[in-house]
Structure 1
Amino acid sequence: MKLHQSKVKNVNQFTAYDTTGVKVNDERFEGSVLVLPNEIHTWRPTSFADLTAEDFAALLGYEPELVLLGTGSKIQFPHPLLYAALSSQRIGIDMMDTGALCRTFNVLTAENRRVLALVLHS
Structure 2
Amino acid sequence: MKFQLDEQQGGNSISRHDSDQVWVNGQPHRHSLLVPWRGEVQAWGAESFEGLGEAHFERILALKPELVIFGSGTRLRFLRPAVYRSLISARIGVDTMDLAAACRTYNVLASEGRSVLAALLIETPA
Shorter-chain TM-score: which interval?
over 0.9
2:102 corresponds to which residue? 101
1:32 corresponds to which residue? 32
Measured after TM superposition, the shift of residue 7 of structure 1 is 4.5
1:4-49 CA distances to partner (integer Å, 9 max, x unpaired)?
2325332110000001010011110011011112220000111111
Runs of 4+, deviation exceeding 4 Å: none
1:52-110 CA distances to partner (integer Å, 9 max, x unpaired)?
01111121111110001101221110101001111011100011011111111111111
How does the TM-score come out when normalised to structure 2? 0.91
Contact 2:7 2:13 in 1 (8 A): no
1:62 corresponds to which residue? 63
1:119 corresponds to which residue? 120
State the number of aligned residues.
Answer: 122
How does the TM-score come out when normalised to structure 1? 0.94
Give the counterpart letter for 1:2 in structure 2. Answer: K
Alignment of 1:17-28 (within 5 A): 17-28=17-28
SS at match of 1:15: strand
Alignment of 1:77-96 (within 5 A): 77-96=78-97
The separation in 1 between residues aligned to 2:7 and 2:46, in whole angstroms, is: 32
1:6 corresponds to which residue? 6
Give the counterpart letter for 1:10 in structure 2. Answer: G
Gaps of 5+ in 1: none
RMSD of the TM alignment (CA)?
A: 1.1
Q: Percent identity?
A: 39
